[in-house]
Amino acid sequence: MTVAAAAASAVQSMTGADRLCDALLAHEVDVCFANPGTSEMHFVAALDRQPRMRCILGLFEGVVTGAADGYARMTDRPAVTLLHLGPGLANGLANMHNARRAHSPMINIVGDHAVEHLPLDAPLTSDIDSLARPMSRWVKRIADPVRIDQDVADAWSQSMAPGISTLILPADMAWNEHSYRSAPVRGKRLPQTPLVQEMVVRIGAAIRTKRKVVLMLSGGALREHPLRIADNIRRSAGVEIYAQGANGRIERGRGRAPIAKLPMTHEIGIEMLRGADMVVLIGAKEPVSFFAYPNRPGRLAPPNCEIVQLAGPDQDLVQALEWLADEVNAPNEPVAVAPFAVPAPTAGPNAALTVDMVNRLVAARLPDQAIVCDEALTSSGFFDYSYDAAPHDYLQITGGAIGIGIPMAAGAAVACPGRKVINLQADGSGMYTLQGLWTHARENLDVVTIVFSNRSYATLWGEMSKVGAQTPGRNAQRMLQLDQPELDWSKMSQGLGVEAGRATTLSEFSRALDAALARRGPYLIEAMV
């Protein structure tokens, strides 16, 4: 018997919390975004005994889950979150919703009362299982310390499917000691649903005979390699290709195929799909409008358009595209696009800053291998200028649950030290999880936050006019305007430990951006637009 074998077979006595920690590490889950409470203290103590686990505090659970999402988008593997009973989970649900829509792997550990304490209905008691299910792919309540290895293996397998796994950890499951014979073993990945070859043949035939075929890409199909295949199919076979309206991650910039997103705005989406005979889904969902409006269809493709799924987000999207490229005899050529010089702002340096100027300058000065988080919403525009910018990753809000930008930037920065993260942040949305700036400071993350300060829920003003309220009265103004008082993002940021500056003109913004890009560590620019 070798020493290693002896060690492996030695019986170890440890708490369930320690075992849980070891089992997570056996799956290379070694980053824990946390906001713990009393019921999780034994797990906190276990984490404290395991320096391999990097624990990162968020001062609100929306920061915790949003950071786990950003981390997963950049690593394709889960971080673990640590959440405090039902309310802690509830606070994290909105960004779990975004993560779910981004197909991000994530493992949540939610503490609960000890099994015998639960029926006493102490103040913090709530129905955690029911709260977890709507945003989770898989929910399990740890009920047997002997099975913790298997529970973690299952949680990991399900998260890589991909999706959100939520493990509920009763306090006594964490604190009780048990004997374990061997080290935790890594779980297996769930088998992927195989692609259907006949579907490829059918789509190939349509491409050869139909007038307008549209490939809709999302998920893993938006990385550099599959994007190039899709672009080759586009050029040789005459199809159109779009990314879904909202995606977890797009590899973008010079050398990558410059895909456009299909807007989920009703009018524009319908116009772009007008005349389509077939829409092929490759990791994407059928294109629909973001919201419904009276007497307008929710589906964006024409009524007689065929919608076919070549591959879902849990299937091999690269192989799907390779098969389709073979089927239509697409060549394998490098991406060739006309160079696109981001047009310089036309206004003078002392002109009042505009959304467009900010987006142009960021695109023009983007550092190589930057990670761009986009929760700019009505201040969007960067994406239109970015296809020939320096190569970068583009992460956007996916589920419409505002408040993802600041946390997602934190998670991306943790995932990719050495790369600059730029967060394009709408002000109303940024307010949802501004606490995340403190985590930027605490971990000295290399994140530049650019807040588009327009002092209103600008999205909603547009919607108000759509419902026929042309001259909003006091109540509408009180619910849609963020002035009176105006938010001072510089002061809030400084209060949270992140240096900040305000820019009201083009030259001020330009200087602030240069300074922020030249340094390392967090900085916030309040762009008064």
Q: Which stretch binds a copy of itself (CB under 8 A): 111-119, 306-314, 351-359, 503-511?
A: 111-119
Contacts of 282 (CB under 8 A, 6+ apart): 215, 216, 217, 218, 221, 230, 310, 311, 317, 320, 321
Q: What angle do CA 255, 258, 259 make, to 5 degrees?
A: 140
Q: Are 187 and 27 in contact (CB under 8 A)?
A: yes
* Site membership for a copy of itself, residue 373 (CB under 8 A): no
Residue 452 beta carbon to a copy of itself: minimum distance, rounded to whole angstroms: 16
Instruction: Convert residues 457-476 into a mask of x (bound to a copy of itself by CB under 8 A) and - (unbound).
Output: --xx--xx-xxxx--xxxxx
Residues 26-45 within binding reach of a copy of itself (CB under 8 A)? 34, 36-39, 41-42, 44-45
* Site membership for a copy of itself, residue 268 (CB under 8 A): no
Q: Which stretch binds a copy of itself (CB under 8 A): 72-80, 121-129, 326-334, 511-519?
A: 121-129
* Site membership for a copy of itself, residue 8 (CB under 8 A): no
* Site membership for a copy of itself, residue 496 (CB under 8 A): yes
Residues 154-173 within binding reach of a copy of itself (CB under 8 A)? 171-172
Q: Are 128 and 155 in contact (CB under 8 A)?
A: no
Indicate the burial class of 333 (C-beta count within 10 angstroms; 0-12, 13-18, 19 or more): exposed
Total residues at interface with a copy of itself (CB under 8 A):
110
Residues 301-360 within binding reach of a copy of itself (CB under 8 A)? none
Residues 383-442 within binding reach of a copy of itself (CB under 8 A)? 398-403, 428, 431-432, 434-435, 438, 441-442
Q: Which stretch binds a copy of itself (CB under 8 A): 283-291, 312-320, 377-385, 407-415?
A: 283-291
Residue 374 beta carbon to a copy of itself: minimum distance, rounded to whole angstroms: 15
* Site membership for a copy of itself, residue 286 (CB under 8 A): yes
**DSSP state letter for 283:** B
The beta strands (E) that lie in 245-340 are given as 250-252, 260-261, 278-282, 306-311
How would you classify the pairing of strands 31-34 and 80-84? Answer: parallel
Residue 95 beta carbon to a copy of itself: minimum distance, rounded to whole angstroms: 8
Q: Is the dihedral of CA 304, 310, 313, 314 positive or negative?
A: positive
Half-sphere exposure of 321 (CA within 13 A, CB side): 28
Half-sphere exposure of 516 (CA within 13 A, CB side): 31
CB atoms within 10 A of CB 335: 15
Residue 322 beta carbon to a copy of itself: minimum distance, rounded to whole angstroms: 28
Residue 135 beta carbon to a copy of itself: minimum distance, rounded to whole angstroms: 7
Residue 62 beta carbon to a copy of itself: minimum distance, rounded to whole angstroms: 7
DSSP 449-472: EEEEE-SB-HHHHHHHHHTT-SS-
Q: Which stretch binds a copy of itself (CB under 8 A): 192-200, 251-259, 273-281, 494-502?
A: 494-502
* Site membership for a copy of itself, residue 47 (CB under 8 A): yes
Q: Is 285 left (phi over 0), alpha (psi -120 to 50) or beta?
A: beta
* Site membership for a copy of itself, residue 510 (CB under 8 A): no
Q: Which contacts qualify for 87-90: CB closer than 8 Å, 24 or more apart?
A: 87/124, 87/126, 88/35, 88/37, 88/61, 89/61, 89/128, 89/131, 89/132, 89/166, 90/61, 90/131
Q: Which stretch binds a copy of itself (CB under 8 A): 4-12, 230-238, 385-393, 483-491?
A: 483-491
Residues 233-252 within binding reach of a copy of itself (CB under 8 A)? 245-246
| From candidates 90, 307, 318, 335, binder to a copy of itself by CB under 8 A | 90
